[in-house]
C-alpha cells in the first residue's frame, strides 16, 4: 500500500509540474496572441478565421498547438467554434487564458464590438504583465541574495579548512599525533561549490526567459573551448613536474589563463550577436511607427516599408533594413522577406513584431488602425524590457564585490594563521608555511573556478541566457586572481612574521 501510494504521489507530482509548465508557457505567449487577435479583429477578420491564421505562427508554439486543436474540432468533429472555445476555456489551467476565452465568446454572442473588447483585454494583460515583471525582479533579487548567503557560508568553510588543513591546529593544541586531512577542503572547493552554484543556475534558468532563444551554435562552440581548458587544468594539477617546468607560473595562473582564454572568444561572439539584436529591439518599434505614419499619408504598404528603411539612425540594424528594401524593390513577397530576416535576427521580440506587421499588412482591411495598435504596444513592451535590464544591472556589480571578498578574506585568514603559528613555535612555523603554501594554491584554484561559474549565474540573471555569462565569467575569474595577488602583496607587509608566498 505504501509503495502504491508513493507511486501515485509521484504521478500526481509529475502531472502537477507539467500543468504548471503548460500554464507558464501559455501566459508567456498570451499577450502576443491577444495582440494578433486584436490586429485581425481591427482588420475585419472573423474570430474563427483568426484561429486558422494562428496555425501559421510558429513563433507562438503553444497557441499554434491550441489553434490546431480548435480547427480540428470544428472541421473534423463539426463543432461550433464558440462551443469549442468554451470547452478549451474549461480545460486550460491558465486563469488568464480562461478569462480571455470567456470574454471573447461573450462579446461575440452579445453582438458587441470585438475590437473594443480586444483592446481592453490587451491593455489589462499588458498592465498585468508589467506587474508580473516587477514581481519577477523581486524574486530574482531574493535568489541573488540567497546565492550571496550561500557564498558567505562556503567562504566560512573555506576559512575553516584553510586553518585546519594548513597549520595542523591540533598540533598547536598538544595532540601532535592527530592531523587534519585536506580531503574535505578539496570537496568543498571542487565539488560542493560547483554543485551548489549549478543548482542556483538551474533555478535562475527557470525564472528568466532568454531574449535570444536560439544560441545553440554558441553553446556547441563553448564545449569545444571549455572542455580542453579544464583538461589542461586537471593535467597540471595532477602532474606537479609540469608546474615546475613552467615556473614562475603556478596552478592559479594556469587556471586563470585557461578559463579566460576559453571564455573570451565566446564572449566576443556573443557581444556581436547581442549588439545587433539589442539594436534591432531598440529600432523595431520606431520602424513600425514610421511605417504606420507613412501609410496614413496614403502610401502603399510596400512603399511605406521602403520609406521607413531609409532612416539613417538605426545603427547596425540598418544593414538588415537595407536588405529588406532591396528585396522589396526586386519584387520579393513580404512574407518571403520576413523568412529571410528570421535567419539573421535571433531576438524573439523583433521576430514577433515583424511577423505581426507582415500579418497585418497581408490581411489588409483597416491596416492603419491595426498598425497603430501594434506600434503602441511594441513601444510599451520595449520600455518594459529596458526597465527590466536596468533594474538587474546592480547585481552584476555585486558579483564582483563577492569575488573580491572571497579572495581577500581567505588570504587574510591564511596570513593571520601563519603568523600565529610562527609566534607559537619557530620550528612549527616553517612546516606550517610549506603546508600553507600548497593549501593556498589549491584554494586559490577553487576560488577562481567558483568565480568563473558565478559568471553564468549573473549572465542568466541579467540577460536571461548563458551566452552573456562568458563575458562575466572571464572578468570574474580575472578579478578573483588579481584580488588574491593584490591582497597578498598589500597585506603581507602588515604581518611581522615571515609569511608564505601565495603563488609559486
Is 297 buried (19+), middle (13-18) or exposed (0-12) by CB count in 10 A? exposed
Q: End of a domain among 323, 355, 389?
A: 389
Phi first, then psi: give them for residue 99, nearest 5 degrees: -65, -40
pLDDT digits (tens, 9 = 90+) for 135-156: 888 888 888 888 888 877 777 7
161, 177: one domain = yes
407, 377: one domain = no
How many angstroms separate the CA atoms of 122 and 381, rounded?
Answer: 12
Evaluate whether residue 440 is within a structural domain: yes
175, 287: one domain = no
Evaluate whether residue 425 is within a structural domain: yes
In this prediction, residue 492 carries a pLDDT of 64
In this prediction, residue 158 carries a pLDDT of 66
In this prediction, residue 326 carries a pLDDT of 85
In this prediction, residue 261 carries a pLDDT of 93
What's the angle, vertex CA 419, arms to CA 414 and CA 422, rounded to 5? 125
Evaluate whether residue 183 is within a structural domain: yes
CA distances (Å), 151 to each of 164, 192, 285, in order?
20, 11, 41
144, 266: one domain = yes
The grid coordinates listed for 65 are: 498547438
- Any idea what DSSP says for residue 60? S
For the chain, 504 residues long, give each residue's pLDDT as a single digit of tens.
444 445 444 443 433 444 456 677 777 778 888 888 887 777 778 878 888 888 877 778 888 888 888 888 888 888 888 888 888 888 888 888 888 888 888 888 877 777 778 878 777 877 787 787 778 888 888 888 888 888 777 777 766 666 665 544 445 444 444 444 556 667 777 888 888 888 888 888 887 777 787 788 888 888 999 999 999 888 887 877 776 676 767 788 889 999 999 999 999 999 988 888 888 888 888 888 888 888 777 777 778 888 888 877 777 888 888 888 888 888 888 778 887 777 778 888 888 888 888 877 777 655 677 777 778 878 888 888 888 878 888 888 888 888 888 888 777 776 676 666 555 445 444 545 555 565 667 778 888 898 899 899 988 888 888 888 899 999 999 998 998 888 877 776 555 444 444 444
Residue for cell digits 547585481?
395
| 3-class SS of residue 152 | helix
Can you give 373-425 as a three-state secondary structure string?
HHHHHHHHHHHHHHHHHHHHCHHHHHHHHHHHHHHHHHHHHHHHHHHHHHHHC
Q: Where are the alpha helices (DSSP H) in 168-238?
A: 169-172, 183-187, 193-207, 216-238
The grid coordinates listed for 161 are: 579548512
> CA Rg, the chain, in Å?
30
147, 267: one domain = yes
Total length of the chain? 504
How many angstroms separate the CA atoms of 295 and 267, rounded?
Answer: 41
Sign of the alpha-carbon dihedral angle for 422, 425, 428, 430: positive
In this prediction, residue 421 carries a pLDDT of 56
Evaluate whether residue 128 is within a structural domain: no
In this prediction, residue 364 carries a pLDDT of 63
How many angstroms separate the CA atoms of 323 and 325, rounded?
Answer: 5
- Any idea what DSSP says for residue 93? S
For 79, the domain range is 11-112
Domains identified in the chain, total number = 3
Q: Read out DSSP for 12-53?
A: HHHHHHHHHHHHHHHHHHHHHHHHHHHHHHHTT--HHHHHHH
How many angstroms separate the CA atoms of 157 and 399, rounded?
Answer: 19
In this prediction, residue 105 carries a pLDDT of 83
Q: End of a domain among 363, 389, 415?
A: 389
Evaluate whether residue 502 is within a structural domain: no
Q: Which residues contact 173 (CB under 8 A, 6 or more apart)?
A: none
How many angstroms separate the CA atoms of 259 and 398, rounded?
Answer: 21
Our measurement of the distance from residue 392's CA atom to the centroid of its chain's CA atoms, rounded to an integer in Å, reads 11
- CATH code (residue 341): 1.20.81
How many angstroms separate the CA atoms of 342 and 214, rounded?
Answer: 11
Q: Which residues contact 457 (CB under 8 A, 6 or more apart)?
A: 147, 197, 200, 201, 204, 399, 469
The grid coordinates listed for 60 are: 507562438
262, 411: one domain = yes
The grid coordinates listed for 3 are: 509503495
322, 175: one domain = no
Q: Which residues contact 85 (CB under 8 A, 6 or more apart)?
A: 70, 101, 104, 105
Task: Compute the CA torsion angle 302, 308, 309, 310 (nearest 10 deg).
Answer: 120
145, 260: one domain = yes
80, 186: one domain = no
Helix (H) / strand (E) element for 357: namely helix 348-363
pLDDT digits (tens, 9 = 90+) for 77-97: 888 888 888 888 888 888 888
Q: End of a domain among 359, 389, 419?
A: 389
60, 180: one domain = no
245, 283: one domain = no
Evaluate whether residue 203 is within a structural domain: yes
366, 474: one domain = no
Residue for cell digits 536571461?
464
Evaluate whether residue 411 is within a structural domain: yes
CB atoms within 10 A of CB 2: 6
The maximal CA–CA distance of the chain, rounded, in angstroms, is 96
Residue 221 near residue 266, CB atoms below 8 Å: yes
Phi first, then psi: give them for residue 348, nearest 5 degrees: -65, -35
Evaluate whether residue 133 is within a structural domain: no
Amino acid at each position: 500500500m505504501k509503495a502504491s501510494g508513493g507511486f501515485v504521489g509521484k504521478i500526481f507530482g509529475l502531472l502537477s509540474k507539467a500543468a504548471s509548465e503548460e500554464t507558464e508557457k501559455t501566459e508567456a505567449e498570451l499577450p502576443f496572441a491577444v495582440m494578433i487577435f486584436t490586429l485581425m479583429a481591427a482588420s475585419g477578420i472573423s474570430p474563427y478565421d483568426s484561429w486558422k491564421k494562428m496555425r501559421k505562427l510558429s513563433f507562438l508554439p503553444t497557441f499554434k498547438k491550441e489553434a490546431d486543436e480548435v480547427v480540428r474540432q470544428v472541421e473534423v468533429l463539426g463543432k461550433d467554434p464558440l462551443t469549442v472555445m468554451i470547452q478549451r476555456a474549461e480545460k486550460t489551467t491558465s486563469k488568464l487564458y480562461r478569462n480571455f476565452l470567456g470574454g471573447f465568446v461573450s462579446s461575440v454572442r452579445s453582438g458587441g464590438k470585438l475590437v473594443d473588447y480586444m483592446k481592453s483585454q490587451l491593455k489589462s494583460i499588458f498592465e498585468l504583465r508589467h506587474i508580473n515583471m516587477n514581481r519577477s525582479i523581486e524574486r530574482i533579487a531574493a535568489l541573488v541574495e540567497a546565492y550571496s548567503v550561500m557564498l558567505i557560508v562556503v567562504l566560512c568553510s573555506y576559512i575553516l579548512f584553510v586553518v585546519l588543513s594548513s597549520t595542523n591546529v591540533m598540533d598547536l593544541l598538544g595532540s601532535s599525533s592527530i592531523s587534519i586531512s585536506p580531503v574535505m577542503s578539496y570537496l568543498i572547493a571542487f565539488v560542493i561549490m560547483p554543485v551548489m552554484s549549478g543548482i542556483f543556475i538551474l533555478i535562475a534558468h527557470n525564472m528568466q526567459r532568454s531574449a535570444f532563444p536560439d544560441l545553440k551554435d554558441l553553446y556547441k562552440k563553448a564545449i569545444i573551448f571549455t572542455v580542453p581548458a579544464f583538461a589542461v587544468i586537471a593535467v597540471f594539477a595532477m602532474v606537479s613536474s609540469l608546474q615546475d617546468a613552467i615556473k614562475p607560473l603556478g596552478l592559479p595562473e594556469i587556471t586563470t589563463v585557461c578559463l579566460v582564454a576559453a571564455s573570451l572568444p565566446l564572449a566576443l561572439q556573443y557581444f556581436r550577436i547581442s549588439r545587433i539584436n539589442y539594436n534591432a529591439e531598440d529600432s523595431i518599434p520606431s520602424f513600425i511607427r514610421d511605417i504606420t505614419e507613412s501609410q496614413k499619408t496614403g502610401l502603399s504598404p510596400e512603399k511605406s516599408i521602403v520609406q521607413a528603411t531609409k532612416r539613417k539612425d538605426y545603427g547596425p540594424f540598418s544593414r538588415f533594413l537595407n536588405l529588406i528594401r532591396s528585396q522589396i524593390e526586386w519584387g520579393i513577397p513580404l512574407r518571403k522577406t520576413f523568412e529571410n530576416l528570421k535567419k539573421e535576427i535571433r531576438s524573439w521580440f523583433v521576430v514577433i513584431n515583424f511577423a505581426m506587421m507582415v500579418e497585418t499588412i497581408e490581411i489588409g482591411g483597416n491596416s492603419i488602425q491595426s498598425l497603430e495598435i501594434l506600434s503602441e504596444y511594441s513601444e510599451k513592451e520595449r520600455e518594459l524590457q529596458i526597465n527590466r535590464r536596468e533594474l538587474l544591472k546592480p547585481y552584476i556589480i555585486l558579483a564582483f564585490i563577492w569575488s573580491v571578498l572571497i579572495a581577500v578574506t581567505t588570504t587574510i585568514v591564511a596570513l593571520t594563521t601563519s603568523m600565529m603559528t610562527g609566534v607559537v613555535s619557530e620550528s612549527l612555523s616553517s612546516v606550517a608555511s610549506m603546508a600553507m603554501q600548497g593549501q593556498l594554491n589549491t584554494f586559490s584554484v577553487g576560488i577562481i573556478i567558483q568565480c568563473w561559474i558565478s559568471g553564468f549565474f549573473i549572465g542568466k540573471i541579467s540577460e536571461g541566457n548563458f551566452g552573456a555569462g562568458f563575458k562575466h565569467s572571464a572578468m570574474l575569474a580575472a578579478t578573483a586572481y588579481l584580488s588574491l595577488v593584490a591582497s597578498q602583496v598589500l597585506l603581507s607587509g602588515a604581518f611581522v612574521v615571515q609569511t608564505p608566498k601565495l603563488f609559486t
